[in-house]
Amino acid sequence: LKEQLDNARSECPLRPHTFLVPKDVQQDIITKAAIVDDIKAHNTDITHKEAEEYAEKACQDARCLYATLAYIKHGADICALLNEGINDHALPLVRKPNDRNASLYLQNGSLVKAMTTWRPKHRENFDRVQWWMTSPIFEHGAHYSLDEKTVLPFIPLDAKDASLVKKQGGYSEVYPVRIHPAHHKFWKADTWQENEPLVAVKQLFSSDETEFSKESTILKALGPKNHANLIKLLATYEMGKRYHLMFPYANANLRKYWEDHPFPAFNKDTALWSLKQMCGIASGLQLIHAFKVTVPLSVPGAGGAGSLDVRLGKGKGLGRLKVEKGEQWFGRHGDIKPENVLWFAEDQCSAHPHPMGVLKIADFGLGRFHGRDSRSRVNPETVISSPTYEPPECKLRLPVSRAYDIWSLGCIYLEFITWILRGSPAIDAFADFRGREATDTQIDDDNFFTIVNEDGVLKANVREGVLAWTEQLHAEKNCSELLHDLLDLTMSELLVIESEKRSKASWLHVQLKNLLGRAESDPDYLLKPVPRKAVSGRSNSAPLLDTPKIDGKRNSVTFLDQEKPAAAKTQFKVPVIDNPRDLVLRNLGTPSFKPSHVGKTTTWPVSQRPQFAR
């Protein structure tokens, strides 16, 4: 038995010289007949019937215990331990520090009498090997408090995955693991270990339970809803005073997906998939925004409930970013960007996966604002940053709310439409085109808005480069009626300076569902080119694009020698759905709300662009 168990063990990739003997292997090797033979060979005074009874009990409640005993050649002692009432539920047995006798105790402190006659070396061996046999089996939604000696059921990555490395951020690090198929119940296990999908383990740097609660509460609550476009929390565990969260491992984030598919075919599959993902992301954000948290999403010690200390820029130190009253009790994301939207080629959690894969919002547990609060592990005085997808209220030092996410989503949608019409190199060209040199940092700021000083009062406008780019997208030769509507919706409902006038996530989802319904039934609406002629003259200042090179690199789309436009106040005013939104929502069974701007004008760890701090 020892030889069979020894041959079946697998070395843990995270902790060299520690091993895993998987549960399915134990079940195959540790049989009732094998235990009976072991007992009778070393206990001649035990009858065959008694040996069978002990073996039956061992197979039911003490297989790990017996496997440990068999490995150190003390298998027959299973009888004395069972007589003492010890089984798998009593594991791990405890060895006290600096005890030269290596005595073993139960969790309640009682000495294990059956082992007192053993040599100390054998007790030491038991203490070491018991961890190999007791690796946890992870179940959906469960939390595990694990001893530091626990052998996690991770198996070595194969050659194609070996190049994957840890990705570290300001609050956590994420690394890929492959869990032995017998040690999880996340999805149907594959017969071949190397075919098991990877799992992303996110280790939080903070050991604060409140921070862990912020991260996990909304993820656990929304998990059972099985939303196709929200990342699913598989399980959590605490080990070594560190909290860990487990997620499906993504093939890429949205930015990497765009770069890997630099020039998508303009056809039904691409257009409908893109629209479905936009609609699904809005629906997922609606769930996040409707969730009422139990731990307020504000930072303790930052100057009062609902306030955050933020970096204002080089030499300006810290300022106060406040959350609108009441908003700290609702879910929000706070860092929507392409890097936090993950692409899965196959969705293990879906019964009907899309052949082109699915996009999922990730990193929505904390409700932080682009990592700009004072708890990120960076000296604010030394940081030069320009968060691309943040809304203007941050720089205007106005209270922030869930509308923060709506602006960020508008930025992503505009880049998404750019990808559909012009390919991923044009996304970089767009960033360069709207980029402006920030006076306080001397680096490019590629925000979607511009701060202006009017008579001593700071105000914000949608950046003229954004408006010019949008007009040129409208004028693209392949721009269909659907894409016109998406652009109009983005500019009139999402990229709106006044946060209270931005669309709610629920209303945005309704409008996108309407567009999707029409696109699925009307091929001309979906794909027939109907480019608009620019009327403002703005698009004349937008970059003319050279013939792109298929390399996905920055500068593969270049500007002709043109000047970037200055900021302007102009905003779009284009209605997408004629019926009042409160009526539409009421008809759909959604609680009604009074529209606030009827008749008014009105964003797992892959590549990052070095020119801008994301």
Find out whether 285 and 448 touch, Cβ atoms under 8 Å.
no
The arithmetic mean of pLDDT across residues 191-217, rounded, is: 85
From residue 595, alpha-carbon distances to 370, 416, 514, 584 in Å are 28, 27, 19, 11
Judge whether residue 321 has pLDDT over 60.
no
From residue 137, alpha-carbon distances to 128, 184, 228, 249, 467 in Å are 19, 5, 25, 19, 54
Helix (H) or strand (E) run with residue 65 in it: helix 63-71
Find out whether 414 and 400 touch, Cβ atoms under 8 Å.
no
User: What pLDDT does residue 558 have?
Assistant: 34
The arithmetic mean of pLDDT across residues 361-366, rounded, is: 78
CB atoms under 10 Å from CB of 216, counted, come to: 20
Find out whether 388 and 313 touch, Cβ atoms under 8 Å.
no
User: What pLDDT does residue 107 have?
Assistant: 95
Say whether 454 sits in a helix, a strand or coil: strand
- φ/ψ (deg, to 5) at 411: -60, -45
Sign of CA dihedral 240, 241, 246, 252: negative
Judge whether residue 333 has pLDDT over 90.
no
**Calpha distance 353→371 (Å, rounded):** 33
pTM surpassing 0.85? no
User: What pLDDT does residue 224 have?
Assistant: 84
- φ/ψ (deg, to 5) at 36: -60, -45
Closest CA to 54 of 81, 74, 28: 81
**Calpha distance 426→416 (Å, rounded):** 11
* Most confident option among 81-95, 355-369, 431-445, 529-543: 81-95
Judge whether residue 125 has pLDDT over 50.
yes
What percent of the chain clears pLDDT 90, i.e. is strictly above it? 61
Confidence of residue 190 (pLDDT cuts 50, 70, 90): low
**Calpha distance 256→359 (Å, rounded):** 12
CB atoms under 10 Å from CB of 116, counted, come to: 11
User: What pLDDT does residue 211 have?
Assistant: 83
Rg of the chain in Å (alpha carbons)? 30
Helix (H) or strand (E) run with residue 10 in it: strand 10-11
What is the number of helices (H) and of strands (E) in the chain? Answer: 17, 20
Confidence of residue 32 (pLDDT cuts 50, 70, 90): very high
**Calpha distance 465→448 (Å, rounded):** 8
Mean pLDDT score across all residues of the chain: 82
The pLDDT tens digits of the residues spanning 505-556 come to 999 999 999 999 999 999 999 999 999 987 766 656 555 554 344 344 333 3
Closest CA to 271 of 507, 528, 552, 549: 528
The arithmetic mean of pLDDT across residues 427-451, rounded, is: 82
Find out whether 402 and 291 touch, Cβ atoms under 8 Å.
no
Judge whether residue 608 has pLDDT over 60.
no
Find out whether 280 and 266 touch, Cβ atoms under 8 Å.
no
Judge whether residue 502 has pLDDT over 80.
yes
**Calpha distance 283→366 (Å, rounded):** 19
Tokens for 387, please give them. Answer: 């968060």
Tokens for 102, please give them. Answer: 């290596």
Confidence of residue 188 (pLDDT cuts 50, 70, 90): confident
* Residues forming beta bridges with residue 31, ordered by sequence position: none
Find out whether 75 and 82 touch, Cβ atoms under 8 Å.
no
User: What pLDDT does residue 33 have?
Assistant: 96
User: What pLDDT does residue 252 have?
Assistant: 95
Position 258: which residue type? W
Q: Which segment of 163-177, 376-390, 457-471 scores lowest on mean pLDDT?
A: 376-390
User: What pLDDT does residue 86 have?
Assistant: 97
User: What pLDDT does residue 48 have?
Assistant: 95
**Calpha distance 391→159 (Å, rounded):** 43
Closest CA to 362 of 332, 343, 342: 342
Judge whether residue 421 has pLDDT over 80.
yes
Q: Which segment of 23-32, 201-210, 291-300 scores lowest on mean pLDDT?
A: 291-300
Judge whether residue 481 has pLDDT over 90.
yes
User: What pLDDT does residue 123 have?
Assistant: 97
Confidence of residue 329 (pLDDT cuts 50, 70, 90): low
User: What pLDDT does residue 398 have?
Assistant: 87
Q: Which segment of 118-132, 170-184, 345-359, 582-596 scores lowest on mean pLDDT?
A: 582-596
User: What pLDDT does residue 225 have?
Assistant: 87
Q: Which segment of 190-199, 353-362, 395-404, 509-518 scores lowest on mean pLDDT?
A: 190-199
Find out whether 1 and 70 touch, Cβ atoms under 8 Å.
yes
User: What pLDDT does residue 159 have?
Assistant: 81
The arithmetic mean of pLDDT across residues 236-247, rounded, is: 96
Q: Which segment of 19-28, 220-229, 571-580, 598-607 scores lowest on mean pLDDT?
A: 598-607
Find out whether 612 and 370 touch, Cβ atoms under 8 Å.
no
CA–centroid distance for 249 within its chain:
9
User: What pLDDT does residue 318 have?
Assistant: 39
Say whether 541 sits in a helix, a strand or coil: helix
The pLDDT tens digits of the residues spanning 251-293 come to 999 999 999 999 999 999 999 999 999 999 999 999 999 887 6
**Calpha distance 411→434 (Å, rounded):** 12
User: What pLDDT does residue 544 have?
Assistant: 53
Confidence of residue 305 (pLDDT cuts 50, 70, 90): very low
CB atoms under 10 Å from CB of 236, counted, come to: 22
Domains and CATH numbers, the chain: 1-135 (no CATH), 136-249 (3.30.200.20), 250-294+330-366+385-543 (1.10.510.10)
- Residue written as token pair 């030269």: 100
| Entry field: residues in the chain | 614
- φ/ψ (deg, to 5) at 192: -95, 120
User: What pLDDT does residue 60 have?
Assistant: 96
Judge whether residue 199 has pLDDT over 90.
yes
**Calpha distance 413→542 (Å, rounded):** 19
* Residues forming beta bridges with residue 155, ordered by sequence position: 178
Judge whether residue 163 has pLDDT over 90.
no
User: What pLDDT does residue 529 have?
Assistant: 98
Position 173: which residue type? E
Higher pLDDT, 568 or 66: 66
Tokens for 18, please give them. Answer: 């520690």
Closest CA to 282 of 87, 494, 459, 428: 494
Closest CA to 602 of 368, 410, 398, 434: 410
User: What pLDDT does residue 605 have?
Assistant: 37
